[in-house]
Structure 1
Amino acid sequence: MHLDPPVTMPHRHTHSADPRRPDGGHRALRIGFGGPVGSGKTATVAALCRTLRDRLSLAVVTNDIYTQEDAAFLRREAVLPPERITAVETGACPHTAIRDDISANLEAVEHLEQTLHPLDLILIESGGDNLTATFSRGLVDTQVFVIDVASGDDIPRKGGPGITTSDLLVINKTDLAPHVGADLDAMRADTRRQRKDLPFAFTSLTAPDGIRPVADWVTGCLDAWRAGAAG
């Protein structure tokens, strides 16, 4: 488990909106989490909530096509109080609700901001998608893409916007590598080749504090967000 290169707030994108609310208050940083079905997006969000909830004011928006399964899981696991977890049923391809018609997600985000103000951080989880999925910059300020070693050690080599342009790439379930024949060194080399200077992290959420590389990156983004708003 590592973060390589070190934590940085991405500079190639502008933020999705003014960091201040209409009332002059500082709005929450919004981070999107995308990735294929089964890669561990919900587990990553859950682990982040457990790690950060004692020092940050958090909320979560999940996206599923026809259910609220991911939100229900997070509530069952009690990662946050239930009023801090809301769900969007997209009714269509997950890309639509996070990239093309983001109105339902924006409504959910704004409702959380109004009812739970002040919030530090809102985590927005996409439904299961593929390597082409990206979030609209009108919805999130920065985005994480989650893949896993069980899907094959050639996934980083295949590329796609999620692999090459996400602000952080998470390669999850490294504990399964010996059982599925995945070569972590090859995945690391392919990831560096695809992402150039963009950061990535290897994680195993079954390990104690296995979410730490992602949590450190998130808090680094939040520090940079606050500094930008104060400047």
Structure 2
Amino acid sequence: MDKQILRVGIGGPVGSGKTALVDALCKEMSQDYQIGVVTNDIYTREDQQFLIRSQALPEERILGVETGGDNLSATFSPELADLTIYVIDVSAGDKIPRKGGPGITRSDLLVINKIDLAPYVGASLDVMDSDARKMRGGHPFVFTNLKTAEGLNKVVGFIVQRGLLNVT
């Protein structure tokens, strides 16, 4: 039987929780799937080192690349991934989903992270929910708190279902 390979691209603003999501997904899914990670930092291999220290996967399965340049507001190229996940967080305010942009409107899954911070930053999850529904036109989104794994099972379920993955 041929091995099935699924490339999942995760993008989003600095500090939104992309690396935390990768860490949590690796730890949650590595029992059932063979996983490798390529991190992409501008000038460092910080994300690679974080994942190695957290023991998300064995070190040989984590590759870090430095791209150079300024891509703080850019997202990955969708052509490089079979599924795209865009991560935002509530600390940037509840206006973020309605501001749109390709990550918000075109990603396969939108992750709205750090929901535990909403009351501290004056963000309304109800507003974010309503705006995400409008901006995404029926495409899925999920609220998460990756510190407690709240919503992680929905992200895993999305990857398994949309990626048509079989357990190894």
TM over 0.5: yes
Q: Within the alignment, does 1:135 sit opposite 2:77 as a pair? A: yes
> Which runs of 5 or more residues in structure 2 are unaligned?
none
Q: What's 2:42 paired with? A: 65
Contact 1:145 1:169 in 2 (8 A): yes
Which of 1 and 2 has greater Rg? 1
Contact 2:142 2:151 in 1 (8 A): no
Alignment of 1:164-179 (within 5 A): 164-179=105-120
Q: What's 1:29 paired with? A: 6
Q: What's 1:17 paired with? A: none
Q: What's 1:18 paired with? A: none
- Give the 3-state SS of the residue equivalent to 1:29 in structure 2: coil
Q: Within the alignment, does 1:49 sit opposite 2:47 as a pair? A: no
- Give the 3-state SS of the residue equivalent to 1:216 in structure 2: helix
> Which runs of 5 or more residues in structure 1 are unaligned?
1-23, 95-128, 227-231
Contact 2:116 2:145 in 1 (8 A): yes
Cα-Cα RMSD: 1.6
Distance 1:161 1:209 in 2: 25
TM superposition score normalised by structure 2: 0.93
Identity among equivalent positions (%) equals: 51
CA displacement at 1:208 relative to structure 2: 4.5
Alignment of 1:62-211 (within 5 A): 62-94=39-71, 129-130=72-73, 133-137=75-79, 139-211=80-152
RCO comparison, higher one (Cα < 8 Å, 6+): 1
TM superposition score normalised by structure 1: 0.68
Aligned-partner residue type, residue 218 of structure 1 = I
Structure 1 89/208 Cα, relative in aligned 2: closer, same or farther at 3 Å?
closer
Count of equivalent residues: 166
Aligned-partner residue type, residue 48 of structure 2 = A
